[in-house]
Amino acid sequence: MSTIEITEVVPTGTWASDPVHSSIGFAVKHMGVTPFRGSFKQFEAGLVDGKLSGSAPVESIQTDDENLTGHLLSPEFFDAERHPVLRFESTKIRREGENVTIDGTLTLKGVTQPVELRGTVTGPLADPYGGNRLGLELETTVDRTQFGIDWNADLPSGGRVLADDVKLSAQLELVEQA
């Protein structure tokens, strides 16, 4: 592999997420019919010498219902009091053209599990302010019960209110740091 190809795979240097133009969120099928979506308002993500990492305070979780947000923060779900931060650390990044696959670990509610993120990478491109930007759109699906988040309830006609599988997504606009 040549030096140029390595540069295409993972840019060197330090890149940090632009909070206004980045987001992370989750979606889980509710009542067996439609995905319910939420997000974490505050988070940090960065790419440092080819390693992607990110973290978010659990208390920054956002839904459209205050009572639901409270329930999600309680010990029955994320247990924000004892596990206030969720975290991702990459172990390996592979790029093929626009496609990227990132192996790493996700730590949630005190449990660390391996995950594989898949998605696309764009750039680096020059921005109007004299800097460089790199885009990453990533997705993975995790089984929430593997992290000890196993709340559920029965539906009258059978089945469960909340799916075990949760789709996690990240849209990162990373800015090269001077």
Partner 1 sequence: MRILGISGSLRRDSHNTKLLLAAEELLPDGANFELYTELESVPPYNEDRDTDDSPVEAVHLREAIETADAVLFATPEYNGSVPGQLKNAVDWASRPHRVSALWGKPVAVVGASTGMFGAVWAQAELRKVLKTAGARVVETEVAVGKADSRFDAEGELLDEEIREQLAETLELLLAEATVSPRLVAV
The least distance separating partner 1 from the CB of residue 110, rounded to whole angstroms, comes to 5
32 or 75: CB nearest partner 1: 75
Among 13, 19, 32, 70, binds partner 1 (CB under 8 A): 70
According to the binding rule CB under 8 A, does residue 16 interact with partner 1?
A: no
According to the binding rule CB under 8 A, does residue 63 interact with partner 1?
A: no
The least distance separating partner 1 from the CB of residue 164, rounded to whole angstroms, comes to 18
Rounded-to-integer distance, Cα 37 and Cα 53, Å:
23
42 or 112: CB nearest partner 1: 112
According to the binding rule CB under 8 A, does residue 85 interact with partner 1?
A: yes
Distance between start and end Cα atoms, the chain: 28
Q: Where is 70: in which H helix or E strand?
A: helix 66-73
Draw the binding track, 123-152, toward partner 1 (x: CB under 8 A; -: no contact): ----------------------------x-
Nearest to 37 by CA among 170, 167, 173, 172: 167
Cβ-in-10-Å burial (0-12, 13-18, 19+) of 123 comes to middle
Among 29, 87, 95, 167, binds partner 1 (CB under 8 A): 87
Among 13, 32, 35, 110, binds partner 1 (CB under 8 A): 110
Rounded-to-integer distance, Cα 115 and Cα 142, Å:
8
Tokens of 9: 């795979």
According to the binding rule CB under 8 A, does residue 41 interact with partner 1?
A: no
Q: Where is 72: in which H helix or E strand?
A: helix 66-73
